[in-house]
């Protein structure tokens, strides 16, 4: 079936309060604040709920995937809380970093070692990442904008400063 269905990964429709937070997250100021605080808030919410909920999930209704990569320099396991986009049964990740200038570390880690572990609501699956084709990049951005328009705004802000990397994740066969 694919990673999305295997994990039961999907995004909820936003209520009015969640829609407002989604809008705020797509603004320049919201992206700046979230890029510096959301990771810490998400870790706390995950601990308090035994991994059943995430801060973005509660605040926006957007599902959050825990992606564990191998650090490209340290070799240590690194965990990131990311929003994935379902794509033909698999999942795709966009390296937008909330529209900030820097490329997220998880992107560089996946480029160095594409093996990763995905966890969603207590279920883990080993996966393999590959760079999306140019056509897939366009499809992923179009699909992502249907549940979070902030991706479109992030892309327009950073396209002239750096290339947004997009990865397609498939279940690992090893």
CATH number of the domain within which 38 lies: 2.30.110.10
- Asked if 64 and 46 touch (Cβ cutoff 8 Å), the reply is no
Average pLDDT, the chain: 89
96: tokens are 């937008």
174 or 82, higher pLDDT = 82
* Local confidence band at 47 (pLDDT 50, 70, 90 cut-offs): confident
* Local confidence band at 92 (pLDDT 50, 70, 90 cut-offs): very high
Angle, in degrees to the nearest 10, between helices 28-48 and 16-26: 120
- The per-residue pLDDT for 153 is 85
Number of domains the chain contains: 1
Domain that residue 117 falls in: 3-171
- Going from the C-alpha of 30 to that of each of 42, 80, 84, 98, the distances in angstroms are 16, 19, 20, 8
What is the CB neighbour count within 10 angstroms for residue 77? 12
> Cβ neighbours of residue 1 under 8 Å, at least 6 residues apart?
89
- Going from the C-alpha of 144 to that of each of 78, 98, 155, the distances in angstroms are 24, 13, 11
Segment among 38-47, 100-109, 143-152 with least mean pLDDT: 38-47
């Amino acid at each position: 079936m694919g990673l999305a269905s295997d994990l039961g990964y999907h995004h909820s429709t936003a209520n009015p309060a969640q829609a407002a937070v989604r809008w705020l997250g797509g603004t320049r100021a919201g992206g700046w604040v979230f890029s510096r605080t959301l990771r810490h808030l998400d870790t706390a919410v995950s601990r308090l709920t035994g991994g059943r909920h995430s801060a973005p999930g509660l605040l926006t209704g957007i599902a959050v995937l825990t992606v564990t990569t191998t650090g490209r320099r340290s070799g240590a396991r690194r965990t990131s809380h990311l929003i994935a986009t379902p794509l033909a049964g698999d999942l795709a990740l966009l390296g937008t970093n909330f529209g900030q200038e820097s490329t997220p570390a998880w992107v560089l880690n996946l480029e160095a070692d594409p093996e990763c572990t995905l966890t969603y609501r207590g279920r883990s699956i080993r996966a393999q990442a590959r760079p999306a084709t140019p056509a897939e990049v366009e499809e992923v951005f179009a699909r992502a904008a249907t549940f979070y328009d902030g991706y479109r705004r992030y892309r327009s802000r950073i396209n002239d400063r750096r290339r947004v990397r997009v990865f397609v994740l498939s279940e690992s066969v090893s």
